[in-house]
Structure 1
Amino acid sequence: MTSDDLSSTAYVALYCRISVDRAGRREGVQAQERWGRAYAAKTWPGVPVVVFADNDLSAAADDVVRPEYDRLCAAIGRGEIAHLWAVEQYRIERREIQWFELAAMMDAAGVAELHTDRDGIVRIRDEVAGIKAVLGAGEVRRLKKRVNDMLAEKAALGEAPGSRPFGYRHAKKDDGAKTYAQVPEEATAIRQAAEWVLSGWSLANIAAKFREQGLAGAHGGTIRAGAVRNWVTLPTVAGHRVYKGQIVARGNWEPILDEATWQACKLKLSQPRRVTRADGKGTHLVSSDRKSNPTGRKYLLTGGLAVCGVCEHRLIGALKQIKKRRVPYLSCHPNAGGRGCTGILLENTEKFVLDSLWEELDKPEFLSAIEADDYGARRDEITKELDGLDRRRGELAAMWATPGMLTQTEWQEARRAIGESEQRLRVEYAALPPKMINVDIAGARAAWPDMMLDEQREFLRLFVESVTVVRALPGRPRVYDSERVKIKWRNLRQAELPPDQP
């Protein structure tokens, strides 16, 4: 029988609640209902009974919604309840202010007593009930403090938290401490995602690729771009223990991504990308994984990659009338700051550059030469400094949480200084030439037609520093002349190349 069936009849309300019963006390809502019905049958024989049950819900947390408790309060306010029963006072409310609000509501509705199994009959107007509410709330605060202290200690020791991120499953070490063990298929996916991110693939395309492979999320959900971002930027995958949003220790589990790769992914996905507007009059910033405006005409070699061999100004792509046809043309255009020095058919040039790249990538000696990294030492230094800033944030959070350690002004000043240092390092890191990684060349070649323009540009820039177009030589045929196109490969040392290399 429900309260809706008894809108005109006062009834006995049984409120049954329990938080998650990890202690195994077997005081679930079903057991409480049996005890309440037995009490009601003995104390108020013949009076209808309605049960309000909130299972696995706390009565001490401000952010927990208890639907049945709210329904109970509404029924009290309507005057439907003649008697109220619960196992104990704390089953209904453990917070003092909320208890006094409930007591006032019950008193106004004429419900003067709360009947319980453990506390006896609690008289709403009695001071003892109020004192008990205050004591109960104090115990809740002490319990929360003990729990938080325990969680902080476990975090400081690097013990794994209760959540399960993609790439890991829960496990235990020999001493019983909670840890993570890698899920091989998921860990492999994270490493592949990191490689694709650093190769310039968009998060949306990476997610689509994994969906095609039939891969699902940690809890069986569909993989989206946001999930891929989380995979490669979550501190957990690099072996860091996070507590209350801050890195506080090294985790006691094996990282999936090494520190350098993780930091590189964070930097890659955090820095904005500058994109030329469709009208060519300026630039605006977009996120690093947003797709470019599909209505704007874009070309692979524009955006600063192709330059004039005379004035060294960047070349732009536009349609040009040639023998009754409008064709894409790469030119040093005065409207964009050039001098009109050079021009060449754009599509033929893009095909030549791309064919040259695939040809070179088939040569092991080319990859050996291009992997030279003149900025590796500084990149490693910045990575270590960023890791140190993350640790300092954790130390700062711990000091702020300790009474008397930091004033509000000191805390804000320290946070500001850390933020400024991080921004400076990120700007410097972004300005360094990208680190060569183990790129899936075969996969990129196969996926090339389906890649977005920005992804193609990112891949091209991994290997090509610039494409210079020189003036046509007198007497040369007027058809397309690829010898006018000079490709400068990134970080390529001429001494390391075989004689037939340009």
Structure 2
Amino acid sequence: MTRYVAIVCRLSPRPDGSYEGVDLQERWGREYAANKWPGLPVEVFADAGISAANGDNRPQFERFREWLNAGKVAHVWAVEQSRLERREVEWFRLAAEMEAAGVDELDTNRDGVVRVRDAVAGIKAVLNADEVRKLKKRLNDRLAENAANGVPPGSHAFGYRHAVVTGADGKKVKTYAIDEKEAEVIRQAAEWILSGWSLANIAVELNARGLRGAYGGKLRPQSVRKMVTMPTVAGKRVHQGRIVGRGNWEPILDERTWKACKTKLSEPRRVVRKDGREYPINNAHRGNSTGRRYLLTGGVAVCGVCEAPLIASMKQLRGREPKPYYLCHPKKCRPNGEPAGGCVGILGLEFEKHVISKLWEELDKPEFLNAVATDAHADRRAKIESDLEELDRQRGELARMWARPGGLKDTEWENARQGIAENESSLRAELAELPPPRVGIDIAQARAAWPDMTLDEQREFLRMFIRAATVKRARPGLMAFDENRVEISWQAV
């Protein structure tokens, strides 16, 4: 097997984005190898801008270790010992791998020849790790000071661009300058939110206008939420997850508007009905933030032959204009265990209108409302809550027994405490899985607000009452929508 001289380079990033020693390290290594080990082939392992102190993945360094363990490395060179590893525990692990591979020495420019299992190498590893800790502390202190002085972080914020101004002492200071095009998007989004628009609809409108996020990506509901609620747009400086003061830049949203948006988005959304009254959209109505285009996809519409969920798309039927159409997935339809290419299909708009109409009919019946409002899990929910109260009582009694002289030993107390904790965790997990009781639903208001709900809100409202809308096979030769093909099964009925 051909064995190589491994030149390990770790290229440290500079503030301007370039790298220190990109050309020099490899050149020094090759010159050193040519003088000390003439004729041996050289392999370079260089990681650009990846820290050796934070545990970051270093692909080339890992490749070097693979070559080392495979016996392909005869000698190793680096500028200094810390270029291989700056953490003490990891250095000792690497030193053991090098020794096992028959590489007892590390040749360097700055540290001379280092015997990898020697005490001096171990001391250097400890000192290198200590220096890393000091560097991190100095860096954290500087970042905290910058935050206290209102200097913005290095990250890019939507609505701003990085800029430099001259401070009172004549020194250059980093700041944010408002990007008017993006700032106008934030102000418009805030106005729409306070007017009652949903985040999903705002995202759709902004994307339709060709607008993009801070890094050029498509705007999503959560992107819209972030752009109007992040403290930066109100001129506030955040450090380590909390607001530490004012930033040295101009706000895009005034304090009142920013707080109003945060409050609005933390409360249930309210849609304005046609009669001018409002209807609250709470968590019971919410689904995914964007949703699909069709109301009954996602498991509500089901095939009556193979019981697979129906999908929906536009379909052209025998020369007609393309129309929304629900059908079995061509690859997932398996009525006899084998792909059948789709066994049912039905006109989409007519299907959705029929299901909605049947829902309102049922909701007009008091007996139906009483049935769906019945909490089938009430007894179990009450039992779990009672058991949790009992565990709290046991925990208090256990603490008193442990504190009493001559009472429980530490191991007995710890075992009992752990058992209580496990029981509590299991009960709380089961309680979280139980569906909440349906309370506080005003059907009349929901009916009036239906046209103004988002697709996801409508879908979630349907799922509160409908378990499945099953579509049976069509009658041969019938080209129109046939409501008799649809069978609706209701929740808790």
Question: TM-score, with normalisation over the residues of structure 2?
Answer: 0.56
Per the alignment, residue 228 of structure 1 pairs with 224
Among 151, 155, 163, the residue aligned to 1:163: 155
- What displacement does 1:26 show? 6.9
Distance 1:132 1:171, change over 3 A: same
* Alignment partners' CA distance in 2, 1:57 and 1:165: 24
Aligned residues: 305
Question: Could you say if the C-alpha distance between residues 25 and 42 of structure 1 is closer, same or farther in structure 2, counting changes exceeding 3 Å?
Answer: farther
Could you tell me which residue of structure 2 aligns to residue 56 of structure 1? 49
The 1:337/1:110 distance shift into structure 2, 3 A limit, reads closer
Query: Partner of 1:10 in structure 2?
Result: 3
Counterpart for residue 94 of structure 2: 102
2:23 aligned with 1:30: yes
CA contact (8 A) 2:221 2:289 kept: no
8 Å CA contact 2:268, 2:283 repeated in 1: no
Q: Does 1:41 align with 2:34?
A: yes
Match of 2:117 among 125, 141, 153: 125
Distance change >3 Å, CA 265–CA 455, structure 1 → 2:
farther
Q: Does 2:181 match 1:185?
A: yes
Cα deviation 1:428-472 (Å, max 9, x = unaligned): xxxxxxxxxxxxxxxxxxxxxxx962269x9xxxxxxxxxxxxxx
* 1:170-189 Cα deviation digits (max 9, x unpaired): 11222222111110110000
Shift in CA distance, 290/61, structure 1 to aligned 2, threshold 3 Å = closer
Cα separation, partners in 2 of 1:88 and 1:145, compared to 1, 3 Å = same
CA contact (8 A) 1:242 1:248 kept: yes
1:136 to 101, 123, 128: 128
Report Cα offsets for 1:251-293 as digits up to 9, x if no partner: 1111111122212222222234699xxxxxxx96355985799
Amino acid in structure 2 at the alignment position of 1:129: A
Shift of 1:114: 0.3
**Cα offset, 1:215, TM superposition:** 1.5
2:246 paired with 1:250:
yes
- 1:64-103 equivalences under 5 Å are 64-103=56-95
Aligned to 2:408: none
The offset of 1:97, in angstroms, is 0.7
Q: Deviations over 1:113-148 (max 9, x none)?
A: 000011110111211111011001101100100000
* Contact 2:12–2:19, Cα closer than 8 Å, also in 1: no
- Name the SS for the 1:173 alignment partner: strand
2:128 partner letter: G
How far 1:90 sits from its partner (Å)? 0.9
Evaluate the alpha carbon distance shift between residue 54 and residue 333 of structure 1 in structure 2; reply closer, same or farther with a 3 A threshold. same
**Partner of residue 174 from structure 1, selected from 148, 163, 166:** 166
Letter in 1 for 2:41: P
Specify the SS of the correspondent of 1:119. Answer: coil
Aligned partners of 2:162 and 2:177 also within 8 Å: yes
What is the rounded CA distance, in whole Å, between the counterparts of 1:130 and 1:123 in structure 2?
10
Q: How does 1:22-421 map to 2 (within 5 A)?
A: 22=15, 27-62=20-55, 64-175=56-167, 176-272=172-268, 285-287=284-286, 290=289, 294-295=295-296
SS in structure 1 opposite 2:26? helix
Name the CA distance, whole Å, in 1 between partners of 2:113 and 2:358. 93
* Separation of aligned partners in 2, 1:126 and 1:246: 46
TM superposition shift of 1:327: 13
- The one-letter code matched in structure 2 to 1:216 is R
The 1:120–1:232 alpha-carbon spacing in structure 2 relative to 1, beyond 3 Å, is: same
Name the SS of the counterpart of 1:268 in structure 2.
Answer: helix
Matched letter for residue 239 of structure 2: Y
Q: Tell me how far apart the structure 1 counterparts of residues 218 and 369 of structure 2 sit (CA, whole Å).
A: 48
Q: CA deviation at 1:24?
A: 10
Partners of 1:227 and 1:327 in 2: CA distance: 34
| Partner SS, residue 285 of structure 1 | helix
Instruction: Give distance in 2, aligned partners of 1:66 and 1:336.
Output: 63
Evaluate the alpha carbon distance shift between residue 191 and residue 455 of structure 1 in structure 2; reply closer, same or farther with a 3 A threshold. Answer: farther
Q: Which amino acid aligns with 1:59?
A: A
* 2:423 equivalent in structure 1: none
Q: Classify 1:189/1:27 alpha carbon distance in 2 versus 1 (closer, same or farther; 3 Å).
A: closer
Q: Deviations 1:202-222 (Å, cap 9, x if unpaired)?
A: 222211211221212222222
Secondary structure (helix, strand or coil) at the match of 1:111 reads: coil
**Change over 3 Å in CA distance of 1:223–1:125 after alignment to 2:** same
| Maintained 8 Å contact 2:46/2:60 | yes
Q: 1:294, 1:201 → 2: CA distance?
A: 20
Provide the C-alpha distance between the structure 2 equivalents of 1:13 and 1:337, rounded to a whole number of angstroms: 76
Q: 1:335 to 1:139 in 2, by over 3 A?
A: same
CA contact (8 A) 1:193 1:228 kept: yes
CA apart distance, 1:333: 7.3
RMSD, matched Cα: 3.5
Give distance in 2, aligned partners of 1:201 and 1:265: 12
Identity %: 56
Cα distance change on mapping 1:22 and 1:238 into 2, 3 Å = closer
Hey, what's the Cα distance between the residues in 2 that align with 1:56 and 1:18?
5
Rate the CA distance shift 1:326–1:16 in 2: closer, same or farther, 3 A: closer
User: Does structure 2 retain, via aligned residues, the 8 Å contact 1:269–1:289?
Assistant: no
CA apart distance, 1:103 = 0.4
- One-letter identity of the residue aligned with 1:453: D
Contact 1:270 1:288 in 2 (8 A): no
CA distance, structure 1, for counterparts of residue 18 and residue 220 of structure 2: 42
Give the whole-Å Cα distance in 1 for the aligned partners of 2:180 and 2:113: 59
User: Post-superposition shift, 1:326?
Assistant: 10
TM-score, normalised relative to structure 1: 0.55
Mapped partners of 2:174, 2:285: distance in 1 = 41
CA distance in 2, matches of 1:326, 1:105: 72
CA pair 327-135 structure 1, distance change in 2 beyond 3 A: closer
